[in-house]
Structure 1
């Protein structure tokens, strides 16, 4: 019995479907397995429907009652979400200037949000300081003269 993959009751390999398949393969009823495992019928029925959080002890008793062994596995870690990309040096310098602080104040925006937005353009904009100033000036003009 593999207790590491509790997805949903209809998905192959879920804890519930595994328990049900093992029980049915031996021609057993929920009541007979419950009696042998020392667990209640509703408890096992809930587990077969992927409801509840069984302890390792309960799973061990179920495995014994079903004539199998319990194997608990930990899978490979999920891939880490991509972290924030390093800011181009030109944006780091831009962020430190008084002109940037004035522009952000005029936009009534959070400086971090503005830098994040500009960093998102790094693939499109060459990224030299003059390019960042052009983008920032355009944002200020749009803020001053909305459509």
Structure 2
């Protein structure tokens, strides 16, 4: 569930991405400029009807659901990126050996780290981001285990 501040950020980002002013969106949605400005600033308690009109004015669709089921977990970008990296499995093997851990455990933690990185970056990490992370892990591990060498 979105908090009002997050909703405001989503509305503002959509509006700006469309190159629209608050006034033009307000006109299309049949809402007042101050009302939309307050929503974008995390204030107010919009009705579903107002949100639907805003979504339509912004070229989007409002989706509302009430469910006892938890939402499905987002797909893992880290697993796909790690599998696509020619260097990833080599570093997993190196770290696993240096730390006396299984490759599966190291791979799982690296995947989780990459997924968290996607949330921080606001985009899926790229191979270059993975390579930097692998370099950092090898460098950090070499300081604590007495010298892991990069593959």
**Normalising to structure 1: TM-score of the pair?**
0.44
Bigger radius of gyration among the two? 1
**Normalising to structure 2: TM-score of the pair?**
0.43
Of Structure 1 and Structure 2, the greater helix share is in 2
